[in-house]
Structure 1
Amino acid sequence: MPESALLDSRVRAGPAADALSTVDSSASGAEVWQRLGATGVLRGQYRRNTATGLIADPDRLGATLRAVDARGDNGITLSVLVQSASALPILAAGTGPAFDEVVRGDCEVALAATDAAAAGSDLTGLGTEIETGGDTVRLEGAKRWVTTATRAAYFLVLARHRPGRHFSAFTWVLVPADAAGVRVTPAATTLLAGAGTGHVEFSGVRLPASAVLGRTGRGLALFARHMGTERLAGAQWATALTSRVLAETRKAVMRREIDGRALWDHDSVRQEFAGCLVRVRSLRALYETLGERVVEDHDTTSAAMLKAAVGLTADDVLSRCARWRGADGFADDGLQLVRAEAAVFGIGGGVTELMLAAVADGAETMLEELRA
């Protein structure tokens, strides 16, 4: 079976694809999320709940992302990915009705980690703080580039509860979006519009002590435990996106002619295209091989390898496809836009260079495995 046919058949199969088959192509991210929740797809993405949150099922999570990606709105796919792979697993570690509301699709949650006071990769430098006293929690600070911020009912906020950069100085707090002192501003960008990205300010926000999610001081540990799942999900989405674009591009270059010959018939194009296909196929093989290590063993080196592979693959493949489309790639919905939006793969959740550094740290073990 040709690669494109294999991928298409996988998109059509499964509960996520079935759930979205009756959702209008112009539906918003909130409507897509609601449908996935109402049909049980969101809850079905996880194997079990533990004291430290949900354990994802790699195959089901990947099937959801393929089905959402097939709709062609990168912003919506990003919002489903972040909530499914990071926010919901962490939210499940808490108590109260929020998790059930979100997993049913009744509302959405926003993971508010990237801080206004520090670079996105410098989590221990964040400036958002909480003060606890008696039965209340006071929250001050600001978060930037938060996915689903403009439509979330809850913010899952990573905050500092004591000074310093120690791993145990940070805690998660669940904040209702309508709480006094919460202010949301849409991000000034036209990219990934379906993600509902925004910036959030917390000014004198007062919450009950029950708003603290999990144990005080376990914020970064809980985040690290589930960050690997988001990196796995990123590899799954990148594979779905690039394979979809490659299939569309192949049809386009078979129609486009240069010197009386289809662009596809030029050896240089065929070889370059084949190289892209090899890289995407390798990325899929990599996440299929490492998925269990990431979700069950919380293997940070494997997660870093997946994230690095995505950063090294997606932009290269999409750049080549966009070039083959020529001027058409600059249309409002052209491949140059897709390429720009896909830059999130090399930035969000950890920049590629940091991921490569983490892979290098684990080089000895990986080399031993390769020689075994």
Structure 2
Amino acid sequence: MSDQAVLRLAPTDAAGSAPPPPAPAVPADGFEGLPPEADGRRVWAALGRAHRLAAAYRGGDPASGVDPDTLGRLMTDVDARFGIGSTLSVCIQIATAVPLLTLGGEPAARVLHDALAGRAVVALAASDEGSGADLAGLGTTVAVDDDGVTVTGTKRWITSALYADHLLVLARHRESRHFTSFTWVLVPADAPGVTVEPAETPLFDGSGTGHIRLDRVQLPREHIVGRVGRGMTSFAAHIAVERLTGTLWGVALCARMLRRTKERLQGRAYGDGTLWQLEGIQQRFAAALLRTHELAALVDRLGRRAARHDTAAAALLKAGAARTVNSVLAECAQLHGAEGFAAGGAQWTRAQAALWSIGGGTTEIVLTAVAGSADALLAELPS
């Protein structure tokens, strides 16, 4: 059929002219054309184009908090398609870095707009050289005066550092370890005095994890995010949402690995049947499935509280996720047998799952927080 014939057959509007062609449909998950090995920056950009980043927050506003249901679907979709490193980059930005930008400051407002559109990546630079989980021991400093700020220090194991446009840096503005001694500064990644090098690990390819050196980086005072002295307080509140997001992701990862493991067991011949038909194998699998359902039930009960910055609820979720993800993925890796040691196999994923016991606060620190809220948490249980 000729082009002219096609045109003659096209429907017309009341005026007799052909209507404009429909706009291209946005794929449901936003990932059309992205390969599984896409890094976190490309995944973030795709989510922004599909308007899925703003949709994760109530009313599309990060200042209003996340919507756990929408956020859970987003993390499930990203985990299903991309590697743990790329998913980690999305997790930290959407849970912590982006909401912190709402605290104020003109540069922060501009970057927030670009980040939600997927045009900008923001690396959360909290942990310091030598400080680890002891954020009060940060060595990175910010000198604040009427003319501007000067940031000096080293940040290690920072997700998205290698491809970030901006660094949200937690720094000390006075010597005291008091929680009022810390301030957020938004540092352009290309500012003079900023250098970034890759972290020494292949475990989280796609995450852009690196080490950042800040050598007397000078910026206008407007690059302070929020009020001077409120950095630690705001971080403590927003880490609750990061712990919720990590738990939602943990449920999705466990479910994905269990499905993959069951398929393998059903396809692996053993005697006259398959490995799946062995009662002992079924019991081990069922125990891992039970733990995953327990974690999902914990999210259902506590997720909305954590989304409202309830630190006790978030600590319970984080501790539960660390134990569940590690145990379920260890069981899956064992059930995969020797094939689990193949490149990208279940044993590799098991090694990456150690992240849940360290990132966002080690399990020991989080359990201490749970103990600190013991009276309130006990009161919630039947007596």
Match for 1:115: what amino acid? D
Give the drift of 1:101.
1.1
Contact (CA 8 Å) 1:66, 1:240: kept in 2 or not?
Answer: yes
Q: Which residue of 1 aligns with 2:378?
A: 367
Structure with greater Cα Rg: 2
User: Which residue of 93, 101, 104 maps to 2:117?
Assistant: 104
Give the drift of 1:38.
1.5
1:75-128 deviation per Cα after TM superposition (whole angstroms, max 9, x unaligned): 01100000000100101222331111111111200000010031x210000000
Give the drift of 1:21.
4.1
Give the drift of 1:275.
0.7
Q: Normalised by the size of structure 1, how large is the TM-score?
A: 0.92
Q: Which residue of 1 aligns with 2:241?
A: 229
Structure-1 separation of matches of 2:280 and 2:324: 19
User: Which residue of 172, 190, 215 maps to 2:227?
Assistant: 215
Give the drift of 1:17.
4.8
Q: Which residue of 1 aligns with 2:284?
A: 272
Q: Which residue of 2 aligns with 1:61?
A: 71
More off after superposition, 251-260 vs 261-270 = 251-260
Q: Indicate yes or no: 2:256 matched with 1:244.
A: yes
More off after superposition, 64-73 vs 173-182 = 64-73
Match for 2:123: what amino acid? A
Contact (CA 8 Å) 2:38, 2:206: kept in 1 or not?
Answer: no
1:209-241 deviation per Cα after TM superposition (whole angstroms, max 9, x unaligned): 001000000001110111000000011000000
1:140-159 deviation per Cα after TM superposition (whole angstroms, max 9, x unaligned): 00100000000000000000
Contact (CA 8 Å) 2:37, 2:206: kept in 1 or not?
Answer: no
Q: Normalised by the size of structure 2, how large is the TM-score?
A: 0.89
Q: Which residue of 2 aligns with 1:117?
A: 130
Q: Secondary structure at the match of 2:81?
A: coil
Structure-2 separation of matches of 1:16 and 1:140: 44
Map 1:57-206 → 2, pairs under 5 A? 57-95=67-105, 96=107, 97-118=110-131, 120-206=132-218
Match for 1:369: what amino acid? E
1:267-316 deviation per Cα after TM superposition (whole angstroms, max 9, x unaligned): 111011111111101111111211111112x2111100000001111111
Contact (CA 8 Å) 2:36, 2:83: kept in 1 or not?
Answer: no
1:155-207 deviation per Cα after TM superposition (whole angstroms, max 9, x unaligned): 00000000111010000000000000000000011011110000000001000
Q: 1:145 to 1:369 in 2, by over 3 A?
A: same
Give the drift of 1:18.
2.6
Q: 1:166 to 1:53 in 2, by over 3 A?
A: farther
Match for 1:243: what amino acid? A
Give the drift of 1:16.
8.5
Contact (CA 8 Å) 1:16, 1:36: kept in 2 or not?
Answer: no
Give the drift of 1:261.
3.2
Structure-1 separation of matches of 2:247 and 2:146: 44
Q: 1:48 to 1:160 in 2, by over 3 A?
A: farther
Structure-2 separation of matches of 1:47 and 1:366: 27
Give the drift of 1:361.
2.1
Give the drift of 1:72.
3.8
User: Which residue of 280, 304, 309 maps to 2:320?
Assistant: 309
Q: Secondary structure at the match of 1:200?
A: strand
Structure-1 separation of matches of 2:277 and 2:69: 36
Q: Secondary structure at the match of 1:19?
A: coil
Structure-1 separation of matches of 2:197 and 2:359: 20
Match for 1:287: what amino acid? V
Q: 1:31 to 1:131 in 2, by over 3 A?
A: same
Contact (CA 8 Å) 2:341, 2:347: kept in 1 or not?
Answer: yes
Match for 1:370: what amino acid? L
Q: Secondary structure at the match of 2:177?
A: coil
Match for 1:271: what amino acid? Q
Match for 1:78: what amino acid? L
Contact (CA 8 Å) 1:16, 1:63: kept in 2 or not?
Answer: no
Contact (CA 8 Å) 2:37, 2:82: kept in 1 or not?
Answer: no
Q: Secondary structure at the match of 2:29?
A: helix
Q: Which residue of 2 aligns with 1:9?
A: none
What fraction of aligned residue pairs are identical, expressed as a percent?
Answer: 45
Q: 1:353 to 1:206 in 2, by over 3 A?
A: same
Structure-2 separation of matches of 1:156 and 1:69: 25
Q: 1:53 to 1:116 in 2, by over 3 A?
A: farther
Contact (CA 8 Å) 1:330, 1:336: kept in 2 or not?
Answer: yes
Q: 1:313 to 1:245 in 2, by over 3 A?
A: same
The alignment covers a number of residue pairs equal to: 355
Structure-2 separation of matches of 1:239 and 1:309: 10
Q: Which residue of 1 aligns with 2:16?
A: none
| RMSD of aligned residue pairs (Cα, Å) | 1.6
User: Which residue of 343, 349, 360 maps to 1:338?
Assistant: 349
Q: Secondary structure at the match of 2:157?
A: strand
Contact (CA 8 Å) 2:154, 2:213: kept in 1 or not?
Answer: yes
Give the drift of 1:370.
1.3
Q: Secondary structure at the match of 1:171?
A: strand
Match for 1:94: what amino acid? G
Q: Which residue of 2 aligns with 1:7?
A: none
